[in-house]
Amino acid sequence: MPYDKESLPELNRRLETELPRANASPALRRNLFTPFARALAAAVHGIHEHIDWRTRQMFPQTCDDDVLENLHVGLWLQGSKRRAAVPAVGRVVVRGAGGIEIPQGTLFNRSDSVQFAVVEGVITDSGGSTTLRVCATQPGAAGNTDNGAMLRFANPIAGIENTATVAYLSGGSDIESLPELRRRVVESRNLGGQVGKLADWIRWAKEVPGITRVWPAPKLSGLGTVTVYVVRDHDSNIFPDAAELAEVQKHLEHSALPNGEIHVVSPLPKPVNFKIKITPDTPEVRAAVKVELSRVLDANASPVAYDAAGDLELPARGHAIPRSHLTQAISNAAGEYDHQLLLPAGDITPAVGELVSLGQIEWAT
């Protein structure tokens, strides 16, 4: 039963009634009862507000941000903390004459002024092209760069072309947002563990910067093995590359259970195309339908199927999404009155390891 906390006006009225002569005429000289009643009401109200605040700090769902970081992270994420921002790293290719030194710290600029520095100085090869290891000068996802993009020397070097081609530049991630940290703490608090349960593998993998969704699959590759699927939803390409997978692999081998084989892999993309006839067929309704379909696919997408208890189904299979969920999502779209889902004609049945996402939508007339 909740406690019925009185408001400040209610406290004023009650104390003025209970204290002797507090409701006497204010015209009386030296009437201290009325101001004393109001001061006491204010003090009691302040105590109630402080108790409310202290109660909120007891739970990670409602606590202040600083209490979340300084108290609940240590309580529920033992050995972990808020994920720091990480710079993008990778390799670029330069072309030019051989035998020319490119020193450590040489800077490259991207078209939007994001800078990258050479990690190790090199002497250019005589074959015309040389690969350099580079790192973004500032941490964050902004340093991730598409393969084939062009960078320019901040200060040109004689004998070397002024542009460099990105072989790969990835792994950068922003500092973990407070809502994400709060969700991770609440998830750990609710699931408990550190005994090798599925929830533990999810928590351990999410300790790696950039990892947002995790699907552990014990025994998928045989007895004594755990396969861990991971994605990076905040990157332009959510499917991690080899270097990003190796980072998770290293962290799990250090943090997780010491026995058994660990396989960290990326799911395979499985975009699903749709053909839909909607009424009314307007740009606004189309956009709403797209949002609802993306939401239901993201909520149900999983590279492996789990049973009602949350355990991996063996023999393993992909996680099917019923067609009825798709039609319901379309019906939930704002402004939709009626529709026909022409494709897919049945349930979505991905194979093991495939992660469903929204593909193209054809709007039938």
pLDDT tens digit string along 194-211? Answer: 566 788 888 889 989 999
pTM: 0.68
Q: Is residue 355 very low, low, confident or very high in pLDDT (cuts 50, 70, 90)?
A: very high
**Mind listing the pLDDT tens digit for each residue in 110-120?**
999 999 999 99
CA distance 226 to 29: 83
Q: Give residue for tokens 């969700």.
A: 183
Count Cβ atoms within 10 A of the Cβ of residue 360 and give its class: 0-12 exposed, 13-18 middle, 19 or more buried.
exposed
pLDDT of residue 318: 93
**Surface-to-core class of residue 144, CB atoms within 10 Å of its CB (0-12 exposed, 13-18 middle, 19+ buried):** buried
Question: What pLDDT, in 10s, does the model give residues 286-336?
Answer: 999 999 999 999 999 999 999 888 888 888 999 999 999 999 999 999 999
Cα separation, 24 vs 8, whole angstroms: 20
Q: How confident is the model at residue 46 (pLDDT cuts 50, 70, 90)?
A: confident
Q: How far apart are CA 230 and CA 204, in angstroms?
A: 11
Note the maximum CA span of the chain: 103
pLDDT at 1 over 70: no
Dihedral in degrees, nearest 10, Cα atoms 347, 216, 184, 171 = -100
